[in-house]
Amino acid sequence: MVRFAVIGDYGSGSQGEADVAALVKSWNPDFVLTLGDNNYPDGAASTIDAHIGKFYH
């Protein structure tokens, strides 16, 4: 069986982001598919690690 997690509208670097990332990790997905709006507030490349990378790597 292959497991996918599908998420969207995430990436602010907040505690809520950490909670969702922990939940997704607990599902042990083989792949995570993102639907967009991944890096808030402005999508700057310089904030990707701070907003997303620390949770999804």
Per the structure, the count of domains in the chain is 1
15: in domain? yes
User: According to the model, what pLDDT value does residue 39 have?
Assistant: 86
pTM of the model: 0.77
Segment 34-56, tens digit of pLDDT: 998 888 888 888 988 888 888 88
HEC string of the chain equals CCCEEEECCCCCCCHHHHHHHHHHHHCCCCEEEECCCCCCCCCCHHHHHHHHHCCCC
Place of tokens 């292959």: 2
Q: Which residues constitute the domain of residue 22?
A: 4-45
25: in domain? yes
10: in domain? yes
Segment 8-29, tens digit of pLDDT: 888 888 898 899 999 999 999 9
* pLDDT of residue 57 exceeding 80: no
Give residue 2's pLDDT band: very low, low, confident or very high (50, 70, 90).
Answer: very high
12: in domain? yes
51: in domain? no
